[in-house]
Amino acid sequence: MKIRKRLLHVVLCFILTMFAGLSAFAQQQVKGTLKSSSGEPVPGATITVKRAGNVAIADTAGNFTIKAQAGDTLVVSFIGFERQQIRVPASQFVNIILKETVSTLNDVVVIGYGTRAQKDLTGSVATVTAKDFQQGAVTTPDQLVTGKVAGVVITSNGGAPGAGGTIRIRGGTSLNASNNPLIVVDGVPLTSEGVSGVSNPLSLVNPSDIESFNILKDASATAIYGNRASNGVIIITTKSGSAGKLKVTFNSVLSQSVRRNEIDVLDGVQYRRLIAEKGNDEEKSLVGTANTDWQDQIFQKAFGGDYNLGLSGGIKKLPYRLSMGYTYQDGILKTSNIKRTSGALNLTPAFFNNTLKVNINLKGVYQKTRFANEGAIGAAIGFDPTQPVYSSNKYGNFFEWLNPATGIPIELATKNPLGQLMLNSSLSDVYRSIGSIKVDYKLPFFPALTATANAGYDISKTEGNGFVPAYAALSYQRGGSRTQYSQRRKDKLLDLYLTYAKNLDAIRSKLDVTAGYSYQDFFRGSPAYPVRNANGDIINTPVADSSRNTLISFFARANYTLMDRYLLTASFRRDGSSRFAASNHWGNFSSLALAWRIKEEGFLKDVNVLSDLKLRVGYGVTGNQDIGLAYPFLPIYTQGASNVQYPFANGSYLTYRAEAYDPNIKWEQTAAWNAGLDYGFVNNRISGTLDFYYKKTKDLLADIPTAAGANLSNHVLTNVGNIESKGGELAINAVIIEKKDFNWKTGFNISYNQNKILKLSNVSDSSSEGILTGAIAGGTGNTIQINTVGYAPQTFYVYRQVYGPDGRPVEGVYEKPVSGSNMFYRYKSPNPKLTMGFTSQMNYRNWDLSFVLRSNIGNYVYNNIRSAGGAYNSIRTSMGYIGNVNADYLNTGFSNSQYSSDYYVENASFLRMDNLSLGYNFGKILRNSATLRLNAIVQNVFVITKYSGLDPEIFSGIDNNPYPKPRIYSLGINLAY
């Protein structure tokens, strides 16, 4: 019995001891919430119990539940926030506030056919995300990043609605081929040939749908795109959905555009006084009694609106984002406007425990554009200010210069500026869709290997028409005009590639290898519509045009990281293009880049003030196949106009003109070096990059003379030249103040670029002056620029003006150059020596204030408006009509136009404030279910410059007949629910 009692006692003690141990180690349910410093929930953050390894993910409201016990340490991490460790209190509930991190080293950057962490980049890559975009009445994507990136110059193409800008990354690499960067939208490379019926193809992408721009600047980053990458690559990524409950966003911008300034011409009083002093009897008899400001007549205050609705969330395991947008914008030039309706859908489902991921992007847009007759601007500058706007006649009741004998408009006379606008209709309807379906499959039997298939398309349809009535003076002699045009574009893409990514812990290394195949097909076609007069009679019948070309590519890239501090990237691409003859179909393009994360070395690791220091060096070879025609190696015969035929025997026949061609033409090829330094201080509160580069393009396309009988013309476009580009870039981003109620962030970038022509022919000819270029208005066949070996492209080629004792230019008197056989000399360049950008963003409690400044230094502009209308012969025609002169005539007193005088080449350096924005965030409204923000924006705030024209920012360097860039006042509202 005693033995049984003792045995029972032992068993009970064992059981009690076991339960006591289980109770001691039992894990309970710990609950908590995660919020940002602004009070927003942080869904998707990862919560881990230190050492135990239990993991939880915060839901859409920032709530989480995890198995832990009092005293355990929770580790919380999420991209964009500082990593935090929190001890679990006895209450088993934690309320965690995550602090946004200043450092961007772990941010993911989209590159060609993949992504990389910012800290692992070896090339020169700049990223601009939605939070840093320009604000206001933005109608084209390029306006979002103007002035934001070192080495990227975006020059506005004028003030017409949707006009957009010309983009140059580190200067141009060509004289006659395209200098535009390759633009990739959600994995689909876009052709640079444009879309008929729109002035800027990028205007067909809704800026509100864009999440980020990743700009690849050096060859080590761009070579993966081969023969289209010499001018850089811009990768645009649009917004995507995320799992969770429905989120609704609505933003709207209402705007008013006004003319900032005008061309200074003589008013009616000044004009009558001048004619009275210098005019002959005919001119005096033609002077009127009105005082008409023709620029006031053709320009207007213009209104616009932009409305965007976004829906995002998740339906079970299907994250989605759906957006719809509508934009209308009237131009300050009467009759010009655009109306755009857009939609976008993104779906990102995942299957089989996230081993199969699908990313579907579909975008569609319909844009209706009315183009104004921009010739009315030049007419307003040169029309007699003493004449009335209207007159009782059969020409639309607009005053016109009429032949007194016949009563019909004088053909050579300038037509009524307002009449040119109101009696002209030019409309286009453009439909465009860009889409892609990307599938990533992580192979279950080989988890380090991912197979990717990306199918994409870019299709568009254009229908356009123009009409000028028979009674309009502008087209009276041929009975008006009725035109029609259309275009179909179908571009298709298929990418197939494998990615192997593996951490090689045994040798403290990481390896990421991508290899694949790409196929892209481009088709465009335009039928032939006859040109008719207003009554329907055929005036001319053009020829239908269509082309198809294909690009087949094989590519590979390897990224290797050793000890998280030594990085290597190598890439190779082999492109085959049908745009060239069989002997030149294929080209090889490669790159190699090295980087050293110096901050990770032992001698710097404990230097806390230094948060990042990385040295980068890269070299690569890229190409440029955008050289104009679809088949430049084939002989082409151009059909003559149907109203100009060759009579033979009993009939008349169309004529065909043979065009010059080079059967051996091929793409241009650019070799480029880059050395750069990435730096960061004080947890990256101060960060930036410093880069130096050198690029040399060979097989440069140049238009060279040929011997008589050697070709079908005395000039031919062929690969003969070399050009170099070199420069440096510095970017600095700083968080100046970071307090509870006040924050101030700034960004500054400065770039230097110099281009020089090294070769323009296959033979050395010291007597060659170069190749004339830069056509100007006035005279016949006049040019003002030249391409010459040893000089920058498009250098001005002018006479050296002589000035009198009073400081006024002496008409027709020029200083002969020290060397050379003619009076011309090379003077200045339209390209700036330095470009700068400065951004500032301040937040005080619920208020925010931001602005963007840009500056160009050393750019010169030929003021063709002054040269073409700055002499008295602009008034005197002896043909029954008179014109106005530029007010600069009062400074020069020129009797005859002096087109080639360097007097008209002006320093156009400038400082411009692009954007000024003041906003207020109301925070939570509607029972904390929504947020509201209002902001007021001014665009094109001011320009400080010595240039006398409308605007110093002229891409070509020749200022003639411009559509002025307006100042825009906007009011925006952003609502999120």
pLDDT of residue 393: 94
Distance CA 772, CA 781 (A): 11
Which tokens go with 328?
Answer: 């209308």
Q: Give a yes or no: residue 61 inside a domain.
A: yes
Residue 887: CB partners within 8 Å, gap ≥ 6?
Answer: 264, 265, 266, 270
Q: Name the average pLDDT for the chain.
A: 89
866 in a structural domain: no
Q: How many whole angstroms separate alpha carbon 122 and alpha carbon 118?
A: 9
Q: Kindly state the average pLDDT of the residues 72-85.
A: 78
**Is the pLDDT reported for residue 968 higher than 80?**
yes
Q: What is the pLDDT of residues 766-775, one digit of tens each?
A: 667 889 999 9
Rounded CA separation 614/600 (Å): 9
Q: What is the CATH number of the domain that holds 70?
A: 2.60.40.1120
Q: Single out the residue of 778, 774, 925, 934 nearest to residue 860, CA to CA.
A: 774
Q: What are 327's two structure tokens?
A: 């934009």
pLDDT at residue 22 in the model: 36
Structure token digits, residue 445: 């039997």
**Residue 659 to residues 662, 679, 702, 714, 855: CA-CA distances in angstroms?**
10, 54, 16, 10, 43
Tokens standing for 970?
Answer: 């906007």
825 or 241, greater pLDDT: 825
Would you place residue 820 in the very low, low, confident or very high pLDDT band (cuts 50, 70, 90)? low
Residue 132 CA to residue 848 CA, distance in Å, equals: 13
- Considering only CA atoms, give the Rg of the chain: 33
Q: Which of 230-244, 334-348, 422-436, 963-977 has the lowest mean pLDDT?
A: 230-244
pLDDT per position as a tens digit, 863-881: 999 999 999 999 988 889 9
Euclidean distance between CA atoms 236 and 856, whole angstroms: 26
CA distances to 58, 256, 593, 669 from 318, in Å: 18, 41, 39, 45
Pairing of strands 152-156, 125-129: unpaired
Which string of DSSP letters, residue by residue, matches 475-533? Answer: GTTTT-EEEEEEEEEEEEEEEEEEEEEEEEGGGTEEEEEEEEEEEEEEEEEE----EE-
Residue 34 lies in a domain: yes
Per the CB < 8 A criterion, the answer to whether 576 and 543 are in contact is: no
What does the pLDDT read at residue 528? 86
User: What's at 958, amino acid-wise?
Assistant: I
Q: Find the length of the chain.
A: 977
Residue 252: name the closest of 308, 329, 209 by CA.
308
pLDDT value at residue 101: 62
Residue 858 — very low, low, confident or very high, per pLDDT cuts 50/70/90? very high
Backbone angles phi, psi at 966, to 5 degrees: -85, 165
pLDDT in tens, 246-284: 999 999 999 999 999 999 999 999 999 999 999 999 999
pLDDT of residue 91: 78
Of 191-200, 386-395, 448-457, minimum mean pLDDT range: 191-200
| Rounded Cα–Cα distance for residues 29 and 69 (Å) | 8
pLDDT band at 184 (very low <50, low <70, confident <90, very high): very high
Identify the pLDDT of residue 21. 39
Q: Which residue has the higher pLDDT, 700 or 676?
A: 676
Q: Is residue 65 part of a domain?
A: yes
Q: Comparing 27-31, 817-821, 835-839, which segment has the lowest mean pLDDT?
A: 817-821
Angstrom distance (rounded) from CA 935 to CA 109: 30
The number of CA neighbours under 13 Å toward the Cβ of 448 is 10
Angle at 764 between CA 763 and CA 765, to 5 degrees: 110
- For residue 507, pLDDT over 60 is answered with yes
Own/partner pairs for 510-513, CB < 8 Å, 24+ apart? 510/559, 510/560, 510/561, 510/564, 511/558, 511/559, 511/560, 511/561, 512/114, 512/558, 512/559, 512/560, 513/556, 513/557, 513/558, 513/559
Report long-range pairs for 809-814 (Cβ below 8 Å, ≥24 apart): 809/892, 809/894, 809/898, 809/901, 809/903, 811/892, 811/893, 811/894, 811/895, 811/896, 811/898, 812/896, 812/898, 814/901
Listed residue (860, 852, 933) closest to 903, CA to CA: 860
Residue 466 falls inside a structural domain: no
Amino acid at 653: Y
Q: Answer whether residue 304 shows pLDDT above 60.
A: yes
In the prediction, which pLDDT does 49 show? 87
DSSP per-residue codes, 735-768:
EEEE-SSEEEEEEEEEEEEEEEEEESSSS--TT-
Distance CA 775, CA 754 (A): 23
What are the tens digits of pLDDT across the range 514-570?
A: 999 999 999 999 998 888 888 888 887 777 888 899 999 999 999 999 999 999 999
Contact at 8 Å (CB) between 866 and 783? no
DSSP assigned state of 321: E
Please report which residue ranges of 635-777 form alpha helices under DSSP H: none
The pLDDT tens digits of the residues spanning 403-447 come to 999 999 999 999 999 999 999 999 999 999 999 999 999 998 898
Burial classification of residue 770, based on how many CB atoms lie within 10 Å of its CB (0-12 exposed, 13-18 middle, 19 or more buried): middle
Count the domains in the chain: 1
Greater model confidence, 59 or 711: 59
pLDDT of residue 16: 35
Domain assignment of residue 210, yes or no: no
Q: What is the pLDDT of residue 413?
A: 94
Task: Name the 3-class secondary structure at 541.
Answer: coil
**Under 8 Å between Cβ of 692 and 745:** no
To the nearest 10°, report the CA torsion of 86, 90, 95, 99. -20
Q: Is the confidence at residue 51, as pLDDT, over 80?
A: no
Each residue of 910-955: pLDDT tens digit? 999 999 999 999 988 888 788 999 999 999 999 999 999 999 999 9
| Percent share of the chain, pLDDT over 90 | 65
Phi first, then psi, for residue 937 (nearest 5°) are -130, 140
Dist. CA 155–CA 180, nearest whole Å: 12
Helix (H, G, I), strand (E, B) or coil at 226: helix
For strands 337-347 and 318-330, give the pairing: antiparallel
Range of the domain at 52: 2-98
CA neighbor of 671 nearest in space, from 589, 611, 616: 589
317-340 confidence digits (pLDDT tens): 799 999 999 999 999 999 999 999
- 574: in domain: no
* Among 4-8, 73-77, 120-124, the least confident range: 4-8
Q: What is the structure's pLDDT at 762?
A: 78
Q: Give residue-wise pLDDT tens across range 87-116.
A: 888 777 888 888 766 555 667 888 989 989
d(CA 906, CA 923): 50
Confidence at 15, pLDDT banded by 50, 70, 90: very low
Q: How far apart are CA 286 and CA 51, in angstroms?
A: 96
Note whether residue 88 is domain-resident: yes
Structure-token pair, residue 141: 């994507």
